[in-house]
Structure 1
């Protein structure tokens, strides 16, 4: 069974003097926004700083001055961005950032990054970049090109794990797994002390988690199937420093690290990435919006030959 775990991501920052996204917009609006990309809200948690919505495909976080939405599968996330811009008005918007990771099977998606940019540029002028090689792991980033300048403390991190170990995949695809079982396996209590947690186990496989503490957030999305395993972590907590704990559990064959505004990314990667991983791609740039972006792909070099995967050529098969 195949599922496209790679996320599309959008963050929109607004003028907090004109609108408070926590108090001026009700949950019915967010529900409609999510439906525009062909997903649904499953549940939510909140504190005085943040609302976190768990979606049928990933997550939505809302703060006073911004919202962040990630969707996976075959969702059409740009439709949700278009809905917000069309209904709230571009004059409220301080900045738009839109991102897409390379997919396992891009041909199954309803649009490509170029299609999405054509939609976004109807509302805002911007610049687009590719971090990483086209024939390898990479991510596309579009950002509005306007007066906005990011502050140094506005930091986010992504850790994206591919081809998790057979042990991890087998554990996470067991029948009748509970959310408590998965939290224990992922060592969530050690990663997220004192966080409010909302999570969901999908049938037959898959798991999503949102966690908030004050302004801090972390979201995890698990696609555990051996032939397309992918587990993503997104947070404003430093995932470079947390990487050793995450990698020890998942033991992926490769993973990507992406950071916005982590000035010491290179030094931290040297200090915290386990020795068995070597860098396969390193890209960084300071964008015109003052975000310092680092993208790194790490792999475990192969030491032995493997046998090929025999494909099922009867019926439909994504791998073909």
Structure 2
């Protein structure tokens, strides 16, 4: 059994002088938006500054002036982005950023990054960049090309862990595992003092978490299947500083760090990435919308030979 854990991601900034995403849109609007990409809202939490929806495939966060949505599996996030643009109007949108990373099972997807940005090009003029090597881990970023300039204080972080340790995979695929047990194993509570938490354990396994505190947020999504294990963290908390704690638990064979407007990325990587990992790719560039984007892929060098993986050639074989 396998599942495509890698997310597609969109952030849309609106003109808060014209409308408020928190005050002017009912939950039914967000439910319709999510349904456009073939996902559903499972639950939500909120405070005065943010509303966080836990989805059947990842998460949606809404602030007064922006939304952030991540979806995994074979969802078609681009459909939700188009729906938002059509319903709200281009004149009220200040910036669209759309990301898509390399996938385990790209052939299962309904579209590729190129298809998606062609759809976006019907509404907004933009530029696209690739961070990372094409034959390895990489992340595509499309951004609207206009006069919008991001604040230097607008920082976000992504930590994407691949091929987690077999013992971690074994724990996270234990039958009837509770959310509390997963939080304890991932040492999440120590990261999130004072945060409001909403989480969900999927059957037969898989886990998602949203956490908010003021305008701060953290979302975690766990695909623990050993053949395609993937765990993602997305936050405006500094995940580079939290990397040692996360990596000690998951012990992945490789991981990516993606940062927006973290100008001390070189020093942070030197200080916080454990020495057993070596960098495979380091890329940094500035987008025309003012964001400084950093991408780093680290691998744990293999020093002994392992065994080949036996494959099940019966049935549909979608994973082959």
TM score, norm. by length of structure 2: 0.99
Look up the SS of the partner of 1:314 in the other structure.
Answer: coil
Please state how far the C-alpha of 1:189 moved relative to its aligned partner.
1.1
Look up the SS of the partner of 1:249 in the other structure.
Answer: helix
Please state how far the C-alpha of 1:318 moved relative to its aligned partner.
3.0
| Residue correspondence of structure 1 range 279-290 to structure 2 within 5 A | 279-290=279-290
Q: Quick one: distance in 2 between partners of 1:145 and 1:286?
A: 12
Q: Quick one: distance in 1 between partners of 2:112 and 2:233?
A: 23
Match of 1:57 in 2: 57
Look up the SS of the partner of 1:241 in the other structure.
Answer: helix
Look up the SS of the partner of 2:255 in the other structure.
Answer: strand
Does residue 226 of structure 2 align to residue 231 of structure 1? no
Q: Contact (CA 8 Å) 2:2, 2:319: kept in 1 or not?
A: no
Match of 1:250 in 2: 250
Q: Quick one: distance in 1 between partners of 2:106 and 2:15?
A: 35
Please state how far the C-alpha of 1:319 moved relative to its aligned partner.
3.3
Look up the SS of the partner of 1:184 in the other structure.
Answer: helix
Q: Quick one: distance in 1 between partners of 2:310 and 2:293?
A: 39
Query: What is the aligned-residue RMSD (CA, Å)?
Result: 0.5
Look up the SS of the partner of 1:227 in the other structure.
Answer: helix
How many residues are paired up? 320
Q: Quick one: distance in 2 between partners of 1:54 and 1:83?
A: 19
Q: Quick one: distance in 2 between partners of 1:64 and 1:298?
A: 36
Q: Contact (CA 8 Å) 1:311, 1:319: kept in 2 or not?
A: no
For structure 1, the residue ranges without an aligned partner over 5 or more in a row are none
Runs of 4+ in structure 1 off by over 4 angstroms are none
Look up the SS of the partner of 1:246 in the other structure.
Answer: helix
Q: Quick one: distance in 1 between partners of 2:84 and 2:187?
A: 36
Q: Quick one: distance in 2 between partners of 1:178 and 1:314?
A: 33
For structure 2, the residue ranges without an aligned partner over 5 or more in a row are none
